[in-house]
A and B are shown apart, each in its own frame.
Chain A
Amino acid sequence: MDRKDDHIFIKILLLAFLLLLLYSWFTFHIYNDLISKITGAFLTFWAFVSFFISYQKKESRDKFKDILSKWLSGILNYRFIAFLYILFFISGSFISSVHIYSNNNKNITVSIYDDRDSVSGKLGPQKQELKHTILTTPFGRTMMLAADGYQKAQVQIFPWTGKRIIVEQYLKISPTLILRIPEEHFMQLSKARINIDTKGSKKTFETDRHTVIVIGQSPEIPEKYCNKWLNELRATYENNIIIYKVLNKWCDTTPLFIPLNLGTYDSIRVDLISRAGDTLAVCKGITDTGKFKELRFKNREK
Chain B
Amino acid sequence: MITKTVDSVSEALQGVKDNMMMMLGGFGLSGIPENAIAHLVKLNVKGLTCISNNAGVDDFGLGLLLQKKQIKKMISSYVGENAEFERQMLSGELDVELIPQGTLAERCRAAQAGFPAIYTPAGYGTEVAQGKETREFDGKMYVLEHAFKADFAFIKAWKGDTAGNLIFKGTARNFNPVMCGAATVTVAEVEELLPAGELDPNQIHIPGVFVQRIFEGKNYEKRIEQRTVRKR
Binding between chains A and B: no
